[in-house]
Amino acid sequence: MFSIQVQNQREWLKANYFRDPAKMLYLASEEVLLQQGRENRRIFLVREGSLKGKVKTAQQTEYEMFMAKPGDFVGIPSFFHPNHLSLSTTVAIEDCVLSYMDEETPAIHSPRGDTLEQQFMGVILEEWSHRQFMIHHLHKERESMITHMMEVRRMASLGELSAGIAHELNNALSVLSSASRSIYQIVIRYLKDTPKKLRVFEESFQSGRILSSREMRDRQKTLEKLRTIDEASARQLSRTSLKIETIAELLQSGLTFQEIIDTNEMGLRLHDMELVSKQSAHVVQSMRTLGAPRPADRSDTSIKQVIQNSLHLLSGDLKDVTVEEVYCETDPHLMVSATELVQVFVNLIKNARDALIQDRIQNPVIMIRLESTEETIFISVIDNALGIAAENLPNIFSPSFTTKKMGLEFGLGLGLGIVKKIVQSYDGRIEVDSSPKGSCFKVCLPRKKF
């Protein structure tokens, strides 16, 4: 009801105070109408075009306070204020035509009041309400900015700390990686004259620790059925990575239980060393990027090629997963660092694969979908795992947050934090939608020149 009364009052004011053709003003685009802190003794009515009001704080931070379009009044607060000082700087967004009234304009007697203040009261209250809303909005924006600055400082400190840790760890990782390769070659030469042991070693080294506790119990029961294997030996052999048929064949060929177990354990240990070395090197490299400046190797990059390169790098991890690729008709390009975007999608695809394995999905599927509009490129990584727990969703991009608990498939929670940082460096965003039927990570990159 109040808004209807104010609207009626506006129309009455326009018809009675803004019809003098001699009191017209024409502004070109970007021309200033009112200057913050300067005197104003007029009320303006926007006839054509639009203007915006900006306020500059004591810290020289500028905020947009209002937008005035045809039919709106400008300058009411300063006109009625005792000192007549404008609270904001008002600038024409485009060429404008305005009518105005000033202090020489006589008040017209009406049921709405005898003074200008009384007649403009409804509009003044509406303006005051709008200003209060904007002040509240600016307060919230300032709080958000302070939070963001604290996060930037925290990430910078984390980056410095991570770089120092990464430097120290690199030496140890180099020794571990070099030692594991040397030991592997030595073992191969040592076992070349015993092809049966060499077979056990290589099969164990290639497969690694792939069995769950339930699978080991099932294997033990099967091994116990073999006449030549007692319960204790069956328990030990069930923990190896060898197939049941292979174990039976090796025992018949003359290898002892202990030889099979020791040789298998040697292969598994070396496999673990290599796996830990590779994963730790990846984590160290990721730690280096925290707080580090963005590289300048941006070039015209095919997003489709980035996705295909990411899948190629992960081909070994995706052997047991069905990967579906859906591309738009065009091949969108962006001025980006191909290396950075590959890191983004390797992380997202690897996380999807880990979720599928951890949730023991029978028919694991990862879909990569590339879509494009005139303004934005969308790349989605979708899996059919059991989803992310609701209590974990707010934390998945936080450094040091991880849910991986699968033996050597560990994580330090740096992956998604780095992914988000890279995407935001291109003014993009990453959206997450998760349910018990699966998760979708959508990367949205604006089409713009960087």
Q: Consecutive sets of 10 residues in the chain, 450 residues long: mean pLDDT of each?
A: 64 88 93 93 94 84 84 89 90 95 85 75 73 69 72 64 67 78 87 84 74 66 72 75 77 80 83 70 59 63 87 78 89 87 88 90 93 93 91 75 47 66 90 92 83
Token pair 């975007």 in the structure block, residue: 341
Instruction: Please tell me the number of Cα atoms within 13 Å of 349 on its side-chain side.
Output: 29
- Cα separation, 261 vs 258, in Å, equals 5
| Alpha carbon distance, N-terminus to C-terminus of the chain | 50
**Which of 229, 236, 235, 268 shows the shortest CA–CA distance to 251?**
229
- pLDDT the model gives residue 249: 78
Token pair 């328990």 in the structure block, residue: 235
Which option is the CATH number for 2-119: 2.60.120.10, 3.90.25.10, 3.40.50.620, 3.40.50.300? 2.60.120.10
* Residue-wise burial string across 382-415, b where 16 or more C-beta atoms lie within 10 A, e elsewhere: bbbbbbbeeeeeeebbebebbeeeeeeeebbbbb
- pLDDT the model gives residue 370: 94
- Cα separation, 185 vs 29, in Å, equals 75
Confirm whether pTM is higher than 0.85. no
120-129 CB contacts, 8 Å cutoff, 24+ apart: 120/13, 120/43, 120/76, 120/80, 122/2, 122/5, 122/6, 122/9, 123/6, 123/9, 123/10, 123/13, 123/73, 123/76, 124/76, 124/77, 124/80, 125/6, 126/6, 127/73, 127/76, 127/77
CB atoms within 10 A of CB 100: 21
**Which of 247, 233, 240 shows the shortest CA–CA distance to 216?**
240
DSSP, collapsed to helix, strand or coil, labels residue 450 as coil
In the structure, how many helices (H) and strands (E) does the chain have? Answer: 12, 15
| Distances 23 to 98, 182, 276 between C-alpha atoms, Å | 9, 91, 80
DSSP, collapsed to helix, strand or coil, labels residue 57 as coil
**Which of 307, 352, 353, 310 shows the shortest CA–CA distance to 331?**
307
- pLDDT the model gives residue 125: 75
| Distances 90 to 32, 140, 337 between C-alpha atoms, Å | 6, 23, 41
- Provide the 8-state DSSP code for 107: P
**Which of 279, 290, 218 shows the shortest CA–CA distance to 404?**
279
Tell whether the torsion through CA atoms of 328, 334, 339 and 341 is positive or negative.
negative
Q: Which helix (H) or strand (E) holds 24?
A: strand 24-27
- pLDDT the model gives residue 406: 42
- pLDDT the model gives residue 227: 61
- Cα separation, 52 vs 68, in Å, equals 6
Structure tokens given for 293: 């400046």
Instruction: Assess contact for 372 and 329: CB atoms under 8 A.
Output: no
- Cα separation, 413 vs 290, in Å, equals 12
Domain boundaries, the chain: 2-119, 161-289, 299-446
- Cα separation, 375 vs 219, in Å, equals 56
Instruction: Assess contact for 379 and 369: CB atoms under 8 A.
Output: yes
- pLDDT the model gives residue 215: 65
**Which of 381, 375, 388, 371 shows the shortest CA–CA distance to 437?**
388
* Residue-wise burial string across 159-187, b where 16 or more C-beta atoms lie within 10 A, e elsewhere: beebeeebeeeeeebeebbeebeeebeeb
Which option is the CATH number for 299-446: 3.30.70.100, 3.30.565.10, 3.30.300.30, 3.40.190.10? 3.30.565.10
